[in-house]
Structure 1
Amino acid sequence: MARPPLFQRATVTRIIKENADVRTFVLDPHEGPLPYQAGQFCTFRVRVDGNDLFRSYSMSSAPEADDEFTTTVKRVPGGKVSNWLNDHLAEGDEIEMTRPAGKFCLRETDVPLLGFSGGSGITPILSLTKSALRATDRSVRLLCADRDRASVIFDAVLSELVERYPTRLEVIRHLDAERGLLDPAAVRAFVGADGHADTYICGPEPFMAMAEAALPGPGLIYSERFGTPAPIAAPSTVQTPPDADAPAGTVTIILGRKKVSVPRTEGETLLESARRGGLTPPFSCESGNCATCIAKLTAGSATMRINDALTDDEVTEGYVLTCQAVPDTAETIVDYE
């Protein structure tokens, strides 16, 4: 059975200006409402300066609480996709996107939910909060760190939720400009007696690493990382002598009308092999989350280090995340279809 197309089109029906650098896009998928869970994301494909670029953005809506399907994007310095979306995408435009994916989701439990967000990391945390408040009886406490007052995202939305659920939702704002960067002591003080809670963390990497290390436990910790795409190295023209201990074999990559074969290298993913062969296949998160790099094995086998995007049926049919798949066989062929 053929896999459904990875990308589909959606119309931007409304744009909400959250602050000077953040926009929320209300999307109407052409194929009808998309099933999703709070905390998930979609990967978007946009064409900038003649190149297809891929980036993953979380949903800010929750299926239990919202009729609209929304994603929120923050402009970042040098961010080609985030800047293009904020500057050029208008109401009525169409955009290409994948189905929702990711495992930064709620589990069935009665323990409290703690959320730590840094900047635009509040996006999936808001989605989870709305879902927990609407569909469960759990208490929710959020610690939201932002650079300054002008950088705050979803202030009005969260204030309305606090008014609606005054005994179940608490939101603490931490502004770096007024109090300095959030530190481990502040994290532990916020947790207090809720060390057994499920904790969700999203934000810049230093913020996340600090919060993870500071949490006292024993509750479960969920962190959302999209990763940073690795630079694409130009194919080497230097001939190096073969390594006697290196595994023999060949990896063949088919991308559009191009077909390239490279010697198999121990521990190298199919995506890395494709780059080494001079190809530029699609990818985004390089963390096994988004499925942008999906391809189909037509010969040989490969093991994925992480798979947070493909179903068991898709794996059985031979689909792999090339950013995570390492060949197990001497001869491997993968087709990006």
Structure 2
Amino acid sequence: MSDVISAEGFAPLRIKRVVQETSDAVSLVLDVPEHCSHRYRYRAGQFLTVRVHVEGRELRRCYSMSSAPLDDELRITVKRDRGGIVSNWLNDTAAEGGELHVAPPEGRFVLPEATADSDALVAFAGGSGITPIMSLVRTALAESARSVRLFYANRGPDSVIFSDALARLAERYDDRLVLQHHYDSDSGVVTASAVASFVAGTGTADCYVCGPAPFMETVENALVSSGLPRARLHLERFTVAQVPPGVTDDCGEATEEVVIDLDGSRVTAAYRAGNTLLQTARLAGLKAPYSCETGSCGTCMARIVDGSARMLNNDALDDDEVEEGWVLTCQSLPTSRRVHVVYE
């Protein structure tokens, strides 16, 4: 195995073990060499970016750690997805002794640095959205006295990832963990009333939501309607937000050019309607930083110093950062005739 770390931070990690979680999901336990172990320390809820080559194409995908920092291993869990080139390829080909090129952990879907044990943690997971939630729940139970409530939705019992592990947690922490499984096959899709009922009476709580887009939308809307402060709502999206057909800008004039400062160089690129700032940088031949491409991690953030843009989705930047001109370039569409963006 090569020990060379790429200029973009990817290191080759050996697959130490492959665990078949369900018929369509596997966990990959990765062996981190001692010399770069410091680069792969992480907080519960974070993810790894994996770079692979499939049929001659370089592809990057983000996978949350399903292990917790208290473990002595680094593990990601990957579920098959209709049309998911990389997830299906990993399920089909990943084998013990194989190698994956992996960037260091990232992500802001994490537990607050300081939280009162009186504050509950409420988590909503749908399908493979259990992966970061599992890490968060295990960490909160092991390292605090917080009460934890987990609502886990799946198509049916056979789709439940970590079924045995969750049952063991519920038994071990029966005084602090409430686990509710929801099966679409029995009850239909998750409704706003089911969400409101589950969160009722939890008092001051941090709510974490991860899963398919329709599930997340239902949960998010129900939590906000219940009065949950936005600062207490944490979202992790697995799917890339698509630019609606025909969307260009909001200002009534077409964007003509985008000026990009990156790594000490300045490039002026013609703008193609509907492209994000990240896509524009790529078309200009720049190796702009990116990872999740869902607006969740903050890897692609840059600052607009002239002109304006709007973000399709933002689960990474706080209000102060946005006011200072920071944007997530993977989610940003120009809204002025000229835009100048700086990667710092």
Name the TM tier (shorter chain): 0.7 to 0.9
Amino acid at match of 2:292: C
Shift of 1:324: 5.5
Q: 1:51 to 1:214 in 2, by over 3 A?
A: same
Which of 267, 272, 279 is the equivalent residue of 2:279? Answer: 272
Residue 285 of structure 1: SS of its match in structure 2? coil
Q: Which residue of 1 aligns with 2:22?
A: 19
TM, length-normalised to structure 2: 0.76
Residue 224 of structure 1: SS of its match in structure 2? strand
Query: Structure 2: which 5+ runs fail to align?
Result: 1-5, 246-250, 318-325
Q: Which segment drifts farther, 165-174 or 221-230?
A: 221-230
Once residues 189 and 134 of structure 1 are traced to their aligned partners in structure 2, the CA distance between those partners, rounded to angstroms, is 26
C-alpha contact (below 8 Å) 2:255/2:337 kept by paired residues: no
Q: Which residue of 1 aligns with 2:43?
A: 37
Residue 208 of structure 2: SS of its match in structure 1? strand
Q: How does 1:87-106 map to 2 (within 5 A)?
A: 87-106=92-111
1:223-269 deviations in Å (ceiling 9; x for gaps): 111341658x9xxxxxxxxx9966776636999xxx97523689975
1:143-166 deviations in Å (ceiling 9; x for gaps): 111101110111111111112111
Shift of 1:287: 3.4
Q: How does 1:159-238 map to 2 (within 5 A)?
A: 159-215=167-223, 216-218=226-228, 220-228=232-240, 230=242
Amino acid at match of 1:98: A
Shift of 1:292: 6.5
Which of 38, 46, 62 is the equivalent residue of 1:56? Answer: 62
Q: Which residue of 1 aligns with 2:10?
A: 7
More helix by share: 2
Once residues 65 and 269 of structure 2 are traced to their aligned partners in structure 1, the CA distance between those partners, rounded to angstroms, is 39
C-alpha contact (below 8 Å) 1:54/1:282 kept by paired residues: no
Once residues 172 and 59 of structure 2 are traced to their aligned partners in structure 1, the CA distance between those partners, rounded to angstroms, is 40
C-alpha contact (below 8 Å) 1:145/1:182 kept by paired residues: yes
Q: Which residue of 1 aligns with 2:158?
A: 150
Amino acid at match of 2:187: R
Amino acid at match of 1:106: L
Q: 1:244 to 1:124 in 2, by over 3 A?
A: closer
C-alpha contact (below 8 Å) 1:246/1:265 kept by paired residues: no
Query: Structure 1: which 5+ runs fail to align?
Result: 234-242, 310-318
Shift of 1:142: 0.7
- The answer to whether residue 78 in structure 2 is matched with residue 76 in structure 1 is no
Once residues 134 and 160 of structure 1 are traced to their aligned partners in structure 2, the CA distance between those partners, rounded to angstroms, is 13
Residue 54 of structure 1: SS of its match in structure 2? strand
Which of 29, 40, 53 is the equivalent residue of 1:47? Answer: 53
1:253-293 deviations in Å (ceiling 9; x for gaps): 999xxx97523689975323235558897855323444665
Amino acid at match of 1:287: T
Q: 1:275 to 1:182 in 2, by over 3 A?
A: same
Once residues 10 and 302 of structure 1 are traced to their aligned partners in structure 2, the CA distance between those partners, rounded to angstroms, is 42
1:84-126 deviations in Å (ceiling 9; x for gaps): 0110011111101111111111112331111111111111111
Amino acid at match of 2:228: P
Shift of 1:325: 7.0
Amino acid at match of 2:164: A
TM, length-normalised to structure 1: 0.77
Measured on the aligned residues, the alpha-carbon RMSD in Å equals 3.9
Once residues 244 and 135 of structure 1 are traced to their aligned partners in structure 2, the CA distance between those partners, rounded to angstroms, is 53
C-alpha contact (below 8 Å) 1:196/1:217 kept by paired residues: no
Q: Which residue of 2 aligns with 1:286?
A: 293
- The answer to whether residue 134 in structure 2 is matched with residue 126 in structure 1 is yes
Residue 37 of structure 2: SS of its match in structure 1? coil
Amino acid at match of 2:84: G
1:14-63 deviations in Å (ceiling 9; x for gaps): 11111000101111223225211001111111110000111111110111
Shift of 1:133: 0.5
Shift of 1:210: 0.5
Residue 102 of structure 1: SS of its match in structure 2? coil
Once residues 181 and 258 of structure 2 are traced to their aligned partners in structure 1, the CA distance between those partners, rounded to angstroms, is 54
